[in-house]
Amino acid sequence: FSSSSFSSSSSSFHRDGPETYALFHYPCALATDPMGENIYVSDTYSHTIRKISLKADGVDQGSSCHVTTIAGVPGNAGECDGEASIAKFRYPGGIVCGSQGEIYVADTFNHKIRMIHPSLASTPSSSSSSKPSVAMVVTTIAGHTRRRNNDGPGTMANFSYPFGITIMKKSEGGGDSTLLVTQGTFLPAKHSAPAIRMIKKKNKRTTPITTSPFRGSSSSSSSIREM
């Protein structure tokens, strides 16, 4: 095996651009998209989600990569949803790519699970043949900024410092149906309620989402319950 630092440098700041020109500020998690063309990074201390493009227009760039910010405002923590360029995160943690172009993020210090997903937006043009551009939008799918350990539908549920996130299984229609989230794993148990939580999506991404215990908590053990 061999290793190399293909994006970042010794200075901890935020800067987009090619390869080693780009700068990160304590990146803590990454995930690849299903096609293996992009790497997505939680750039934790810059409160942003970054993309390392391995291909340009479907063509392998070899050793040349390019880094862009796809969501969040560099250096500005917050909790608002909306257009990706103005949405805000607060020390984002784990990240995983879905099967339909969406990206799930454990927004650790907002105690939320966020989803970055494409939304069609028409681009003004005098040409009738112009295609609509694809904008990225950030949505909170579960959790609330108030730190708790309560189950329930979508944003009525509460998390306590969620960090790790993965997709457990896919639905028959090809979409992602169940997410697993770890919480409270890097703080003393009495302050963070360590547990593994399950988020089960129903049908399309806009339908209600329910969280429940999966395995364990700071005080007891639980199992999956049907939604």
Residues 141-180: tens digit of each pLDDT: 999 888 888 888 888 888 999 999 999 866 555 566 789 9
For residue 36, pLDDT over 80 is answered with: yes
> Would you give the distance in Å from CA 133 to the centre of its chain?
22
The continuous run of DSSP H or E covering 190 comes out as: helix 189-192
To the nearest whole number, what is the mean pLDDT of the chain? Answer: 78
| More confident: 124 or 32 | 32
Residue 159's identity, in one-letter code, is F
**Low-confidence winner among 7-16, 42-51, 107-116, 175-184 (lowest mean pLDDT):** 7-16
- Per-residue pLDDT, 20: 82
Task: Write down how long the chain is.
Answer: 227
Report residue 219's pLDDT band, with 50, 70 and 90 as the boundaries.
very low
CA distance readout (Å), 177 to 27, 104, 160: 27, 12, 22
Report residue 121's pLDDT band, with 50, 70 and 90 as the boundaries.
low
Name, in order, each residue with C-beta under 8 angstroms of 126's C-beta and a sequence gap of 6 or more.
none
